Amino acid sequence: MRHIEVWADVVCAWAYIGKRRLARALEGWEGEPVEVVWRPFRIDPMAPARAQPLEEVLRDPVVDAALQGCAPGMSAAENRVRVSEIAAVEGLGPRWGAAWRTSSHDAHRLVALAYEQGGAALQDAVLEGVLRAHFVERRDISRTETLHEVASAAGFREGARLLDEGGGEGYVRETLLRGKAIGVTTSPTLVIGGEALAGAHAPEVIAGFVARAVAEPRREVPAEVERLRMAEALLDKGDPLGCLTLLGSLMAEYPEERGVRMLAARAHYHSAQLSRAQGGLEKLVAENPDDAYARLLLGRTLERRGEAESAARHLRIAAAMNPEYGKAG
């Protein structure tokens, strides 16, 4: 079975519209069996834990810029007008429009827990309840009571307890990093294997995308390799702390793997954890004195720590092994 991963924020109206369109696109699907799995995305990472009336908040240009992640190229006001018209066509309503700006973190936890405990069908029911509560019933989905009621109405009997116990916390935080690593920047974004479709497109466009992506040969990659690649992608995107978060389990499971240790050292260096970077790099250099890059990075680390003499020795050796490194300085 192929997975259609939908990276979306439950406070993004286009995610609700996209959910309807995806369902229509898959009506009568006769290809390889597929399963829709919803993954968390945040269009407004700075949204407060305590809800604020949205009408007041939308007057803030900073918030307007943040919400453009849900509709690139449009102001929040323009987006709301357009979306309300499209929502009516999609049969969402009759009343439509969110009333609150608030963090979607706990709602994402509930949606994730639903999939973990009951699979795609239960997740779909819980997600529908969350979206309806936010956009149609105009409720505050950051409130524990609201999420408990959504879980109960969807038949997720364990949802309230699991949510109250902190379930899904680590999963949501890590999965947000995974989305960033693979380049998700818009809500919703459909991902099948290595193919992505950003936006809430018409059902026929979605159906065509699914057909093409599912027809592509599967690219089976060991989970450990995929995690390492994602961690490195986060470092390349300027998020060394996110890189270290994804590396955590690999560092625990493969403490002697050189590639894991080198990436951790790089992330420690770029996050200014210089003592940790130095410790890791000194071991890597001791094990393989001919590793020019490890020498270079160790030299740079020692420079930043004010150990000029030790740094110069490693930098000279690195430049001798690879003249390009001598030009970097």
Spatial separation of the C-alpha atoms in residues 229 and 223, rounded to whole Å: 10
Delimit the CATH 3.40.30.10 region(s) of the chain: 2-215
SS3 content of the chain, % helix, strand, coil (to 5): 60, 10, 30
The yes/no answer on whether domain 2-215 falls in CATH 3.40.50.1820 is: no
Residue 152, pLDDT score: 98
What element of type H or E holds 209? helix 203-215
DSSP label of 305: T
**DSSP codes joined into one string, 13-63:** HHHHHHHHHHHHHTTT--SS-EEEEEEE--S-TT--SS-EEHHHHTT-HHH
What tokens were used for 114? 């639903």
Q: Is residue 31 within 8 Å of 214, Cβ to Cβ?
A: yes
Q: What are phi and psi of 265, to 5 degrees?
A: -65, -40
**Strands, sheet with 34-40, edge to edge from the N-terminal-most edge strand:** 34-40, 2-8, 189-192, 195-198
Please choose, from the candidates 149, 43, 159, the residue with its C-alpha nearest in 3D space to the C-alpha of residue 101.
43
Digit-by-digit pLDDT tens for the chain (329 residues) are 899 999 999 999 999 999 999 999 999 899 999 999 999 999 988 899 999 898 777 776 666 655 555 566 666 667 777 788 888 888 887 778 899 999 999 999 999 999 999 999 999 999 999 999 999 999 999 999 999 999 999 999 999 999 999 999 999 999 999 999 999 999 999 999 989 999 999 999 999 999 999 999 888 889 999 999 999 999 999 999 999 999 999 999 999 999 999 999 999 999 999 999 999 999 999 999 999 999 999 999 999 999 999 999 999 999 999 998 887 55
Q: Which two tokens stand for residue 198?
A: 């950003």
Name residue, tokens 């439950």. Answer: 10
Q: State the pTM of this model.
A: 0.89
Separation of alpha carbons 305 and 34, rounded Å: 53
Taking alpha carbons only, the member of 94, 62, 93, 98 closest to residue 79 is 98
Q: What is the pLDDT of residue 6?
A: 98
Q: Is the dihedral of CA 155, 159, 160, 161 positive or negative?
A: positive
Pick the CATH number of 223-327 from 3.20.10.10, 3.30.70.360, 1.25.40.10, 1.10.1040.10: 1.25.40.10
Beta strands 34-40 and 2-8 are: parallel
Distance CA 196, CA 198 (A): 6
- Which pLDDT score is estimated for 68? 58
CA 263, chain centre distance (Å): 20
What three-state secondary structure class fits 221?
A: coil
Assign 3-class secondary structure to 240-278. HHHHHHHHHHHHHHCCCCHHHHHHHHHHHHHCCCHHHHH
With tokens 């499209």, the residue in question is: 86
Rg of the chain, C-alpha, whole Å: 23
